[in-house]
Amino acid sequence: MKRILILPFLSLALSGCAMLSSSPAPSGASNAASASPYEAMESMPPEAQREDVPKLEEKQVWVPGYYQPVAGIWVWHQGQAMNEKDGYKLLPASYREDGGKVYFSPPRWRRIDVAERAAK
């Protein structure tokens, strides 16, 4: 029974579906591992794949494709167009190396005032 429940999750994870959170990522976390629900990896992901960005409609933004750790390997998630969120800025996926481990942060929305303060 457990195997049957895992199959839909794995098919979604490997098909390129990605969910973007509408809330900012936690800030001020001192431990990189506790700040991310994703597993730490031993190396940086491969170079991003080349994508052709489609013509966006008004009020749309492009979320660039990115590699995400899944079961110990880097899995590519293709870029996609999303509707803008008033008062928010889209932060792309990012990777941070700390203590020989690589930590992944998915694309996320951040309030513009918070994003501007973080950039200073």
- What's the Cα-to-Cα distance from 119 to each of 91, 95, 99, 113, rounded to whole Å? 12, 17, 24, 10
Domain ranges across the chain: 2-119
Give me the tens of pLDDT residue by residue for the chain, a chain 120 residues long. Answer: 444 444 444 444 444 444 443 333 433 334 444 556 889 999 999 999 999 999 999 999 999 999 999 999 999 999 999 999 999 999 999 999 999 999 999 999 999 987 676 776
Phi then psi dihedrals of residue 55, to 5 deg: -65, 125
